[in-house]
Structure formats: structure tokens, C-alpha cells
Amino acid sequence: MSERPIIVTQLDGEPVEVKVSADMVKRGLLVAPLLIAVCAVIWGVNGAWSAALGIALVLLNFALSAMVISSTAKISLGLMMGATLFGFLIRLGLITLVVVLVKDKPWISLPALGATIIVTHLGLLFWEMKYLAITLAHPGLKPARP
């Protein structure tokens, strides 16, 4: 009988973060038409395009985050922690870069883009809390009820 190591150096198991992120992306795609419509009413066509870009940035951010965590956790927990920290900074930088690159485009409404990025990030995070099982028995999403 082999002994379990006292210090875990890597995680073997199903990537819970990928399931949670995929669930958030699914919910984001469900509300995207509503968010785009609201921005279109408030800021016009440019608001709709800006909202679509903002939603795409947020969903890509969540997907990249899960990918980085799940791939590095299999290698080393130290690598995962570093990749999570620096990955966050890099993803924040990428969002900033996209905003800087499109800020002067005629089809962009900066208030719509900013509002969409903030509301979508926070909204999806808070919405997802309802569906999480934060226990060691069922980490990630709550198990489906029969």
C-alpha cells in the first residue's frame, strides 16, 4: 500500500475550474443579447458593437483563466500560483490593450464598453455563486438534483 504524500505538489483530478468557467461562459452567452440590446437603446449602434466586444473580452478572460489554472495545476502548485497571479496581470493588460487599440474607432462607445466589461464580469461572478458547491465533497458546480 503506497503512502500518500504529506505535501501535494500537483493536482490530479478533474479540472473543476474549467467546468465553472464553461458554465459562466454559457450564462454569458445567454444574457449577451439582452446586454447588447440595452446598450443599443442607450448608446445606439456603437453601443451595441461596444457591448459585443466587451462581452467577448470578458468571456475570453474567464476561459483563458480556467485554461491557465487547469494546465498548470497538473504540473506544479507553485507554477499554478505564479501563473494565476501573473496570468491575471497579463489578461488585465490584454483587456487594457484592446480598449486602447479601439478607443478612437468610430464604432466604439467607451461608456458602453466600460460598463459592459464591468457589469458582465461582476454580474457573471455573482450569478455563478448560486450554482457553486464550495465543499470538498463536490468542488465546483453543485451536483444535479434527480
Instruction: Kindly list the distances between the CA atom of residue 74 and the CA atoms of 23, 62, 67, 77, in Å, as whole numbers in the listed order.
Output: 22, 19, 11, 8
Cα gap 47→92, rounded to integer Å? 22
Q: Over 80: is that where the pLDDT of 6 sits?
A: no
**pLDDT on residue 62:** 94
DSSP string for 128-139 = HHTTEE-SSSS-
Please name which of 116, 136, 134 lies closest in space to residue 43, comparing C-alpha atoms: 116
User: Regarding predicted confidence, which is higher, 14 or 75?
Assistant: 75
**pLDDT on residue 25:** 95
pTM score: 0.83
Tell me the three cell numbers of residue 95.
483587456
Amino acid found at 121 = H
Share of the chain above pLDDT 90, in %: 62
Domain assignments of the chain as residue spans, ordered by start: 16-130
Q: Which residues contact 64 (CB under 8 A, 6 or more apart)?
A: 87, 91
